[in-house]
Amino acid sequence: MKKVSTLAPLLLASLAAILQLTSVTEARAFGGAPGGPFSNGSYFPNDGTFSAVVRGENLSGTVQFSTTAGSGGNGNGSTGISTIYYDGDSYLGNSQGSYNPQSSTMSVNFQASIQGQGEQEFVVNREDREVQPDGSSVVTQTPILNISYFDSLSLTGFADCKASNSFPNQTFKGSGEAELQFLIFNNGVIGGEVPLLDAFALPVSVTGVRLSNTAETFRSADVRPPSVNAFSITKDL
């Protein structure tokens, strides 16, 4: 009968143990086992601080925001900041982000404004002319409308981005839209220059990167879009 050596099985068992130890050591060197946070090629944590560049026609700027852990594995964006340059003007404001590690997506929002005349108020009068028996005329001014408005320019935008993980770096890139709101004056509405609210859309692109794996707190800016309010003073319009 041929004698079977027990050396080969022992060598195979030792080799398997060495390979297993090497794999664990390598995984720890890259931040953990595959599938866990910070591992090579795996997802990043919900918490983080991000910076991104916003670009569009005659538009450029930066946003910086943090995300924190939320329900369902989504990141609920804490308040961030934004600085947008459009057509030679600087718009300052806030930004938010929402990171979903399961789908590797990032949603970015920003709101920024620049003040024009600020808060204004005036009265629109109706002019009545009455002809007298001697041929002369008497003109009376009757208040009919009270107009109050806030003159500013505002930019509100969003972008849906796809995140790419290459530990230790994480980037995101996507596209969206910004809306510019402003007031139009000199429109010749009865008795005075009643401003009208107008707006148009601007396509934008966003390219960003993770700065850290911790959330920061940002000071919230006072962003105020333009507005117009008019109400009747008399019933006779």
pTM of the model: 0.72
Q: Which residues pair with 118 in a beta bridge?
A: 151
Tell me: cis bond preceding 168? Omega within 30 of 0 counts: yes
Contact 80, 96 (CB under 8 A): yes
What pLDDT was estimated at residue 142? 84
Q: What is the pLDDT along the chain (237 residues), one digit of tens a residue?
A: 445 455 455 544 554 554 454 444 343 333 333 344 444 445 678 889 999 999 999 999 999 999 987 533 334 446 799 999 999 999 999 999 998 888 889 999 999 999 988 888 888 888 888 888 888 888 888 888 888 999 999 999 999 999 998 777 899 999 999 999 999 887 655 445 678 899 999 999 999 999 999 989 898 899 999 999 988 887 544
Query: Which amino acid makes up residue 177?
Result: E
Question: How far is 233 from 65, CA to CA, in rounded Å?
Answer: 46
Q: Which residues pair with 232 in a beta bridge?
A: 145
3-class state of residue 126 by DSSP: strand
What pLDDT was estimated at residue 187? 60
Percentages of the chain per state (helix, strand, coil), in multiples of 5:
10, 60, 30
Contact 110, 95 (CB under 8 A): yes
Residue 216: CB partners within 8 Å, gap ≥ 6?
49, 66, 78
Residue 201: CB partners within 8 Å, gap ≥ 6?
177, 178, 179, 180
What pLDDT was estimated at residue 13? 54
What pLDDT was estimated at residue 6? 52
* Tokens found for residue 169: 């770096």
What pLDDT was estimated at residue 191? 45
Question: How far is 61 from 91, CA to CA, in rounded Å?
Answer: 9
What pLDDT was estimated at residue 78? 62
